[in-house]
Chains A and B, each alone.
Chain A
Amino acid sequence: MVNSDEEPRIGVYICDCGVNIAGVLDNDELREYAATLPNVVKSERYKFMCSEIGQKLIQEDIENGEINRVVVAACSPRMHENTFRKATREAGLNEFLFEQANIREHDSWVHMRQQDDAQSIAQDIVRMAVAKASKLEPLEVMKVEVKPSALVIGAGIAGINVAKDLGDQGFDVTLVEKTPTIGGHMAQLDKTFPTMDCSACIITPEMVEVGNHPNINILNYAEVTKVDGFVGNFKVEITKKPHYVDQEACTGCGGCSDVCPVITGNEFDEGMKERKAIYLPFPQAVPNKFTIDMDHCIKCELCKDECEPDAINFDDKPKKIEKEFGTIIVTTGYKAFDPSDYTPYGFGRFPNVITGLQMERELSSFGPTVGKPVRPSDGKAPHSIAFFQCVGSRSFQPGMNNYCSRVCCMYAMKQARQYKEKHPEAEIYILYMDIRAFGKGYEEFYEIAAREYGINFIRGRAAEVFENPENNNIIIRAEDTLLKRPIELEVDMVVLSVGLEAQEDATVISRLLNVSQTADGFFMEAHPKLRPIDTLSDGIFVAGVAQGPKDIPDTVAQAKGAASGAASLMAQGEVEIEPYFSVINNALCSSCLSCVDLCPYTAISYDKLANLVTINKALCKGCGTCTAACPCNAITQNHFKVSQIMAMIDTAIPTR
């Protein structure tokens, strides 16, 4: 190991990254330039520094004793810092004597047509990295314990799979769900494409299994309200909303619901069927216990008289539960696009315009129409149905989403086929922009829908609809872009294939967990290709539609991935964290105590008797705020010392 008073001997390694960097920058020039910088004893260039050969180049130079500091000029440290640190450590050099110069994301990729300027910026970036490297000091990595318990937020098909996988491996799992039942959107679906197997038949056994699992604790009707701590030791507060029904005592008999006089729309059936104020979302709900919806309850207390086990409790209060978790998995799913605000399609105004999810409920044999879709205006089976694709998706109009929701083409074709199977004489139209049948067996499904089922595909987005006042039929105006002419069509019913959106409370979760959202509101993965289920907060994973629109197989695949990511952390039992905490030199400290108040983690304490300020490094997360504020320069932040940052600032600007 190098000791820090040894003269720095820096090796600079410039990565071509194929053409990503070398296509814009002159890397030979950059290599020659780096060789002229102070303390640089070696300057190399290679096609892919992150490859094994690239890493070997560095390791050999370390092992030969030629260099004792490493600078790699390549992509972002957020991409490969760990790769190179590991290589550095394996060659016997402290990994914190490595510094990465980001000449790809911050230079070659954003200055593609300004090659001369890009070249001088690359020189600046490398020069600053070399300056910092000269000042780097070896550090010890810190290890923290990872508790063998996982918090899964959201109990749709993703959350259920994560919980099951982790529970089966013996970890203690808490599954939090904000509605009274687990199951999520998948429980609402009738059949799944392209295999046409029954959705409920797949998910209900899983729900029951999770419900009975010895290692899984379900907290339904609950929300995460506070998160503290870090990987391995998250301290979480979960607030369980009041059910007003004792969940232990309730037998799920349903007597209460029979006598309840209040009728309102059932969320599970997308408002197409009613429920009482005291309700079970659907017969197979897990846990199978009743809840009173206080927004609608009129407190007549009829249910109280009816309830045999005496489970009704109008004084029920929210309960706070506190628990520590080693890992957190976010599987909060989506919200379907609400087409009410998009007036040209008349949703909400014309009874015979419904959404895809409503159609799904109508097709379901335990739905509002027991599997025989009818049009809402007169309860008759429609003879003609038009499906509108991309409702809320792939649009730049305000209030709409730019992205493709990925499932709507398939579910529309599936629903069309299902209806055709029941009503072969029916006329079905699908108005689409392009059909995106990307998954395994999907294209074949589409082929058959068009060829064998005789579904009419019209390429063109519907412009607007009107209602025929005589019979509540819907008149559609659209353009057939293949025939290149406007068309008008009268149908009995329109189904809007609404897209998927981030949950309304995604921002709340994002703040609580410190997980970023992408511009579309979905949670951001650590890397789009290589770490699609990790987040940038260690120990927190994301799976399913919470990360972006996807179908069920992809959701389950991600759920399994997230479970294995979390399991491997918990199985190791400890994790290394970056030792970027702040340290205090008490000889310089004047006990002004500015730092004590600034610290967001109460990691700094003051012992009045001894007149001593101490920083608890287990609590310190390394933001460096105290370091910046200390008027005596008594506090330093590891790896971000004044001398290290100033070295960069002082070499930042080329001498002119």
Chain B
Amino acid sequence: MVETKDKIGAVEAPGWKPYILGIFCNWCSYAGADGAGTARMQRPAVLRIIRVMCSGRVEPEFVFRGLKNGADGVLVSTCHPGDCHYVTGNYKTFRKAPLISKFLEQMGINPKRFRLTNVSASEGAELTEIIEDFVEELHEIGPSPFKNKKE
């Protein structure tokens, strides 16, 4: 993938923490995030999660809108291949993901701001690692060039 610097780069203020918007499927990933909570696995305070029943419900528009509104990163999390509660919903999301990245690139937005992961219901620890890793990467990329101007 081509490295695209966000065209309108923003400067990282001291103490800045990235804002990550998560869109998680109910059966594996949302449950995994719940599991991380139950096990009190501490992670950087960056993630807010929107729940959908299956990652198949995720429209590319959700990702674009999240980034446009000023999220520094959007994380779509699905069940592992073969584990989707609705059989194949996640495969359809896997197919959409490269298109989303491509589109972001073409729009001059760093495609690394969008991530797709698989987290199962027992993988609270993995989720924590994913978040830590994403935060690190977002620190490299810097804050979103967009601001939420909505009231």
Contact = CB atoms under 8 A, between A and B. Distances in A.
Interface string B64-101: 01100111000000000011111111001000000000
Interface string A469-509: 00000000000000000000000000000000000000000
Nearest to B144: A653
Given A78-B34, A600-B86, A645-B50, A110 B41 contact: yes
B7 interface: no
Given A110-B36, A110-B37, A650-B65, A623 B122 contact: no
B71 A652 contact: yes
B interface residue count range (under 10 / 10 to 19 / 20 to 34 / 35 or more): 35 or more
A444 interface: no
A111 B50 contact: no
Contact of A655 (B19, B57, B150): B150
Contact of A536 (B27, B42, B52): B27
A623 B36 contact: no
B104 interface: no
Interface string A638-656: 0010100110111111111
A627 B42 contact: no
A323 B87 CA distance: 21
Nearest to B148: A653
A114 B43 CA distance: 9
B109 interface: no
A623 B38 contact: no
A121 interface: yes
B148 A656 contact: yes
A580 B44 CA distance: 33
Interface of B (DSSP majority class)? loop
B121 A645 contact: no
B3 interface: no
Given A124-B48, A625-B92, A649-B69, A516 B33 contact: no
Interface residues of A, number: 57
B116 interface: no
B148 A600 contact: no
B134 interface: no
A136 to B, nearest CB: 14
A77 B19 CA distance: 23
A646 B84 CA distance: 24
A652 B83 contact: no
Contacts of A109: 37-38, 40
B54 A624 contact: yes
Contacts of B41: 110
A640 B34 CA distance: 20
A173 interface: no
Contacts of B69: 649-650, 652-653
A652 B22 CA distance: 10
A623 B50 contact: no
Contacts of B86: 600-601, 621, 623, 625
B147 interface: yes
Interface string A61-77: 00000000000000011
Given A112-B42, A113-B42, A516 B56 contact: no
B121 A516 contact: yes
B54 A623 contact: yes
Contacts of A600: 86-89
Interface in A377-408: none
Contact of A653 (B61, B71, B92, B123): B71
A106 B82 CA distance: 26
B130 interface: no
A128 interface: yes
B37 A104 contact: yes
A217 interface: no
A516 B37 contact: no
Given A623-B86, A652-B48, A653-B70, A76 B56 contact: no
Contact of B37 (A105, A121, A601, A650): A105
Contacts of A585: none
A642 B48 contact: no
A128 B34 contact: no
Given A640-B53, A649-B69, A106 B37 contact: yes
Nearest to B63: A649
9 contacts: A114-B45, A117-B17, A117-B46, A518-B122, A621-B86, A623-B56, A625-B89, A628-B58, A655-B148
Given A628-B58, A655-B148, 17 more contacts: A77-B51, A102-B49, A105-B34, A109-B37, A112-B40, A112-B42, A598-B92, A622-B53, A623-B54, A624-B52, A624-B53, A624-B54, A624-B89, A628-B57, A649-B65, A653-B69, A655-B150
Interface of A: 76-79, 102, 104-107, 109-114, 117-118, 121, 124-125, 128, 511, 514, 516-519, 524, 528, 536-537, 580, 598, 600-601, 621-625, 627-629, 637, 640, 642, 645-646, 648-656
The 3 closest A-B pairs by CB, nearest first: A105-B37, A624-B57, A625-B56
